[in-house]
Amino acid sequence: MEYLVLLAIVIIVALIAIVLLGGFTTGISGTMDAQSKSYWTGPVRPFSISEWAQINDTVYLEIKNKETDRLVLTNISFNGQMKNLSGSGWTIGPGSTKSLAFDGFTECDRQSFDYFEYNIIFYYDSSSISGRSQVGSKPIAGSCSFQ
């Protein structure tokens, strides 16, 4: 009889631990989302990212040139995977924003890939220096959208 009581206590403690760990996992992803948003919309320069989303296999970014000089965005790297831009790059004027879309990512699905996280590196040219880069210290992250 004592063993049954002890077994019941162990099972209850295990269930409580599972519930708490599930809550921590949700909290961690929410914290990463908030840190990403704070970093990429904050004082980061020369490019900031005001919005991002992943829908199916496509990542959408809205970037802003925060410099007083026009910049030519030549490439963007997502977790080391280079996404070449058409032609010689995209010119973004001072203070201007540009909406970008890149496909070919792991497809979002509800079972195995419903959250994304990408480390971003912007490669760009300014009027005086070519071949510059901006390495993000925080990834973009968020829940996938499904369509």
Domain regions of the chain by residue span: 2-143
- 120-142: average pLDDT: 95
Give pLDDT, residue 86.
76
Strand partners, 125: 72
Token pair in block for residue 95:
């203070």
Token pair in block for residue 114:
């419903």
Helix (H), strand (E) at residue 82: strand 81-84
Closest CA to 83 of 65, 103, 106: 103
For the stretch 83-112, pLDDT in tens is 878 788 899 999 999 999 999 999 888 787
pLDDT tier, 26 (very low <50, low <70, confident <90, very high otherwise): very low
Pick from 17-31, 40-54, 70-84, 92-106: least confident: 17-31
Q: What is the dihedral of CA 108, 109, 112, 115, to 10 degrees?
A: 50
Q: Is the pLDDT of residue 127 over 50?
A: yes
Q: How far is CA 13 from the centre of its chain?
A: 36
Give pLDDT, residue 103.
93
Q: Is the pLDDT of residue 29 over 60?
A: no
Q: Which CATH architecture has domain 2-143?
A: Sandwich (2.60)
